[in-house]
Amino acid sequence: MTKVLFFFSFLVMISLYVRAQDSTMSTRQLQAIEVNAAPPAVRQQADKLVMTVAGNRLFRTAANGFDVLKKVPGLEVGGDGALLLYGRITPAVFIDGKPVLMTPEALQTYLAGLSSDMIASVALINNPSSQYDAEYKAIIDIRLKQDMTLGWRGNINASLQRNAYTYNDNQLQLSYKTPKLTYTARLGYTKGTTIYRYSALQHLASSDIMATNNKVPTSNNNFSYQLGADYNFKKNQHIELQFRGFLINRDAFAYNTLHTTDATEQHLVFNTQSENRYDPTQRNYLVNLNYSGQWGKTQLQLLGSFVQANTRQREDIQTSDIISKALEDYWKTALQQDIRIRTMQADLSRETGYGIFRLGGKFVYTSTRNAIHYDTLNTEHLFVPDSGRSNNFHYDEYISAGYLSYERKLGKLDLAAGLRTEYTHSVANSITQRQVTRRNYLTWLPSISGTYTINENQQISLSFARRITRPTFPQLNPFRFYNSPLNYVVGNPYLLPSKTNTLALTYTIRSFTFTLNAGRETDAMLRYPEYDTVTNVLEYLGKNMPHKDFANITVSFPLTVTKWWRMQHNIGSDYRKEQIPYHGVTYAVGVTDYSIRGSQVFTLPKQFTFDVSYAYRSLSGISLYIAKPLWNVDMGLQRTWLKGKLNTRINYYDMFNSTTFTIVFRQKQIINNQLSHWYGQQRLVLSLNYSFGKSTYKAKQVNKNEEENRAGL
């Protein structure tokens, strides 16, 4: 922390130096340090808070689209790449108004090839209306630059990163546009090694102390492709066909140690090591067919998609005593998962003299087939099936949805109201355990919002919406996934969906933004620990809580100090209080935390741009856990060459290697443990982006829907 204080002191000294040296700056000019620095242009548009990226100096050193999202007000980026908005929800990511939801890892890979030069703006919808799928509690909509110039264009984006390992990401994008047809192609290839470490310190029931350390380097050899054609066969009517493939090939080696001493930490009780070699592969394929047409003030859009995802993984797990080298356990596993998603959607809108009417419907059928098989080495040195761990799980889900909404402008007031209903039928079949869980439920989801334009620089908006969160397929899957021989995670096929009522208030004056969100989530899903005092096994299970209350405040503002020094800050505070029944007691601990994220951008001679970004989150947690403070500092240097065709960036992430997520269990009389996750965020990255060709047409990004995200695709 002393390094951080020194760092901020250094920035203050620079500020004092600038003011002292600039003798031509009058007192009046000093007082004119603006909150409306342009760019960034931050403005409220109906239910969206829009931040301009194109031409904005604050984003010049952003290596890719993922770096751009780090500066969205209220958005936090975890070390594993997970996006968290207002400290509690994972937002949906859209491209040009359509969803591209993925797992955090897939999202990083996808956005890594999206240069910040291609992004026009980023919009935040913090309380989506009934027009959007019920799963979307918040939306980040990335709008790409559009150019209708005919011809062809190419873009090469390559990055090389280094920490303890080397990792490179390469993307090639090509497009060719004629008056009626547009062809696009995108090829991606990533190769290299990533690193993850897990550690825990647990006081066992016997008063012994066990330290767990898990190191997982993972080699990657992944390939992706996207092919598309967009045909404008009539005026204001076009049809789009897209194919996508994502091929993941990994080779991982997890090295785990369990070092246990007595309560004095002087005498060794046992010291074991586990080596797990596994080679997960995944094949994702998508076919997407879209139609859109407009006749006067009437618009129609039809979407259909088919997704096939196949995952295979084999593990070889050996546990032995470190001192004697004696083999204690030997497992072999085989995992097979097949997912199919079929989607059909229609949206119709009509603008009349009384406002805009919208209606639509959607049907989704998802099927998953999961099987995991364990073989254990017996005393006769033969591998035999382990029925206690092997499992077979099938899950089928049918969702039918419809909505109706109405929008009208009354002077300076924009009003919108809507109602969405979703019917869900699901069948969870745990074949091995002979348990079948069927669910049928109808959910009504109203929404209403109003935006009042005070003047051209000020707006205020208020909205209410009810959303539903269905459990993801990994949350329902009753398989065991091991972190160590004594620690594993298992799903719960009996989980219920949760419902969230949210009230959101947003006020903007020029580029200053104030946002307040508050609400309650009922049947909120939680993963909680259970400790076996006899075997010392710690398992993490899933269940529904009665309810969770939340509130958050976020303030965002840019500042222009001089022509060559700009900055932006996002300051937020979150409150949460869960009702968690646990071991006969209902725990309800109110937790309040705050966060500060900022960026200092310096325009240097020779067209260089230097950026220093920093983030701090205070002590946080939930009713069961305390999360320790977290902070990091990043630096970046950018310059363009060859009349803007070549863009080079050097980024140094997590300079002080401080991004370690550590949580401590509150109720030490039940479980006395502390665990940490480290994702190797400290790294040096060199990025090159080169554009060529005769057109500036930008290829549309392939969509992913809500069901793909829940499936973990």
Which one has a higher pLDDT value, 44 or 216? 216
Give the model confidence (pLDDT) of 356-369 as tens digits. Answer: 999 999 999 999 99
Beta 672-678 vs 181-203: how paired, if at all? antiparallel
pLDDT for the residue 363: 95
Each domain of the chain, given as residue ranges in start order, spans 33-711
* One-character DSSP codes across 655-694: TT---EEEEEES-TTT-EEEEEEE----EEEEEEEEEEES
- pLDDT of amino acid 511: 82
State how far the Cα of 558 lies from the Cα of 562, in Å rounded to an integer.
Answer: 12
pLDDT band, very low/low/confident/very high, at 381 (cuts 50, 70, 90): confident
Whether pLDDT at 704 is above 50: no
**Residue of higher predicted confidence among 213 and 11:** 213
For residue 213, is pLDDT > 50? yes
Percent of the chain surpassing pLDDT 90: 49
Its sign, for the CA torsion 187, 69, 85, 597, is positive
Tell me the three state secondary structure of residue 68. Answer: helix
The pLDDT-based confidence of 314 (bands split at 50, 70, 90) is very high
What is the torsional sign of CA 86, 92, 93, 96?
negative
Strands 92-95 and 139-144: parallel
Q: Considering the chain, what is the average pLDDT of its residues?
A: 85
Question: What are the tens digits of pLDDT across the range 141-183?
Answer: 888 776 556 788 888 889 899 988 999 989 898 989 888 899 9
Give the CA count within 13 Å in the CB-facing half-sphere of 461: 29
Q: What is the pLDDT of residue 462?
A: 93
Among 94-98, 438-442, 528-532, name the one with the lowest average pLDDT. 94-98
CA–CA separation, 429 vs 478, rounded Å?
A: 10
How many whole angstroms separate alpha carbon 118 and alpha carbon 124?
18
Q: What is the pLDDT of residues 267-300, one digit of tens each?
A: 999 899 999 999 999 898 889 899 999 999 999 9
CA terminus-to-terminus distance, the chain: 38
Which pTM was predicted?
A: 0.84
Distance, in Å, from the CA atom of 393 to the CA atom of 541, rounded to the nearest integer, reads: 17
Instruction: Return the pLDDT at 612.
Output: 94
What is the rounded average pLDDT of the residues 490-514? Answer: 90
- Write the CB contacts of 312 (distance below 8 Å, at least 6 apart in sequence): 280, 281, 282, 335, 336, 337
Per mean pLDDT, which range of 42-51, 165-174, 190-199, 323-332 is the poorest?
42-51
Q: Which one is predicted more confidently, 341 or 701?
A: 341
pLDDT computed for residue 136 by the predictor = 84
CA dist 248 and 310 (Å) reads 10
Task: Inform me whether the pLDDT recorded for 697 exceeds 60.
Answer: no
Please give the residue that has the higher pLDDT: either 561 or 102: 561
Q: Are 400 and 363 in contact (CB under 8 A)?
A: yes
Quick one: tokens of 196? 């993850």
Q: How far apart are CA 593 and CA 571, in angstroms?
A: 11
Average pLDDT (606-617) is: 92
**Residue 9: per-residue pLDDT:** 39
- For residues 425 and 369, give the distance between their C-alpha atoms in angstroms, rounded to a whole number: 17
The pLDDT of 596-618, averaged and rounded, is 92
Give alpha helix (H) positions in 382-513: 473-476
Is residue 700 over pLDDT 60? no
d(CA 189, CA 246): 10
Residue 258 in this model has a pLDDT that exceeds 70: yes
Dist CA 338 CA 284 (whole Å): 10
CATH superfamily of 33-711: TonB-dependent receptor, beta-barrel domain (2.40.170.20)
Say whether pLDDT at 11 is over 50. no
Burial class (CB in 10 A: 0-12, 13-18, 19+), 412: exposed
pLDDT in tens, 508-524: 888 888 999 999 999 99
For position 467, what pLDDT does the model report?
92
Q: How confident is the model at residue 320 (pLDDT cuts 50, 70, 90)?
A: very high
